[in-house]
Chain A
């Protein structure tokens, strides 16, 4: 089977309002998919449904042919940085090691040497190994985002889901993050990321999924004027800003 995520006729409501309606798509193993669309278009709702946080009104989602709850062990997740309290007292390496706490509870758990080494290895992959003992409150926005990616990687996922990993960080940091994601994807991990950054999405993704409550487009990463207009209601310059078209 080549399908990693199979979505069929998915409709999901969030706080009583239907956020996405009748979406069907297949994401195959090893793909790098960028989900784009306007604010309120249902991108994050879609991601939350795939993660099993929101129940569908109708339709369904399968991960590697099975149900979501059972497949969570093969998925990992990078949330929006805005939803995480960065003043929480935890070090960089401790944050990564939380990924090792899987299934159930872990009474009197002490992290083993091998787990510390594994955490340092993934930190090295994202260029944060030298900051391992720092508190997360001491990290920049870009560093913190890379830390969340490192934590997700430590869980050794087959599918990596990210919610706006380049939000609120500078362009250089955003490029660095997409470079890291491309490397992760090359190692065989299916990457699915929600993003507002159209130019990066077009250059990095193997496939684009455009959602504006409904599936507007799903295909190769080439955005035509028609697709952009269907999503945003107007033309957008991929290098940033709106055009007067």
Chain B
């Protein structure tokens, strides 16, 4: 495997994409898990499929379409949440389905044979290009800087946003920024594990870290490391067993979580 990494540039790209997206998964994943925004993350991720389809139909980069759709979905969900109307879950579910439906419809409207867009649904880390790396790198830089620079503000907001609002913290800004960051994270993960599996890579490392360490900062660090381990181990499994890389990464991540959970339960009962 190591020889292959040194030999093939597509494997080097895959490792780099895995490393960068692991940082995103570690940081944003912990926030999503702790703030219990997994359903929302799933909604935003699946809405992105509409953008992928539109990109194919109109002939522009599908990842940009995915970004535009997921950011729009994030802003809409944020707006509905702020209104506190009680419809948030319904809206998320509808956006989830609508995004997928639009993607299928847009691809269906294309003349001739439809393109294979499975790699956007299930990811293909081995097909990551230099251009994808730049996109993932930019998103990682934005995510990392914004979380590190305002770490204490984030912590206060995530713990109790109402108290923070009374204290005068800019909770409106933080909420919308968080949702947009989730949307961008999904875009970064599309090439690695795909729209459908992105939520697994956002949640599994963070959930594993939650079983291993206590503080928020340590959870982000451990989740990032675990995420990279899952990507690398998944790639290895994919390489040796000739199964799709996105699926292999998710298998490793989910299996590790259940093993850690079982160990945790055994430890707790002793």
Contact = CB atoms under 8 A, between A and B. Distances in A.
B163 A89 contact: no
Contact of B216 (A75, A90, A110): A90
B149 interface: yes
A107 B152 CA distance: 9
Nearest to A90: B159
Contacts of A53: 162, 165
B164 interface: yes
Interface string B228-270: 0000000000000000000000000000000000000000000
A242 interface: no
Given A53-B162, A101-B156, A106-B150, A15 B173 contact: no
Interface stretch (A37-45, A92-100, A177-185, A208-216): A92-100
Contacts of B86: 15
Given A79-B160, A89-B34, A90-B159, A109 B168 contact: no
Interface string A68-83: 0000110111010001
Contacts of B191: none
B265 to A, nearest CB: 16
By DSSP majority rule, is chain B's interface helix, strand, loop, or mixed?
Answer: helix
B215 A76 contact: no
Nearest to B84: A15
Contacts of A146: none
A210 B167 CA distance: 28
B159 A101 contact: no
Interface string B140-173: 0000000001111101101110111111111001
A189 to B, nearest CB: 15
Contacts, number: 88
A79 B163 contact: yes
Contacts of A79: 160, 162-163
Contacts of A94: 155
Contacts of B214: 89, 135
Nearest to A48: B162
Interface string B109-151: 0000000000000000000000000000000000000000111
A101 B219 contact: no
B150 A98 contact: no
A155 to B, nearest CB: 6
A105 B155 contact: no
Given A85-B36, A89-B216, A104 B156 contact: no
Chain A contact residues (Cβ within 8 angstroms of B): what range?
Answer: 35 or more
B166 A106 contact: no
A232 interface: no
Interface string B200-221: 0000000000100011100100
A101 B158 CA distance: 13
B85 A98 contact: no
Interface in A175-220: none
A151 B152 contact: no
A4 to B, nearest CB: 16
Contacts of A76: 166
Contacts of A110: 152
16 contacts: A79-B163, A88-B158, A89-B210, A89-B215, A89-B219, A90-B155, A94-B155, A98-B155, A99-B163, A101-B156, A101-B167, A101-B169, A102-B169, A109-B151, A111-B152, A155-B167
Interface of A: 15, 51-53, 72-73, 75-77, 79, 83-85, 88-91, 94-95, 97-99, 101-111, 135, 151-152, 155
Interface of B: 34, 36, 84-86, 149-153, 155-156, 158-160, 162-170, 173-174, 210, 214-216, 219
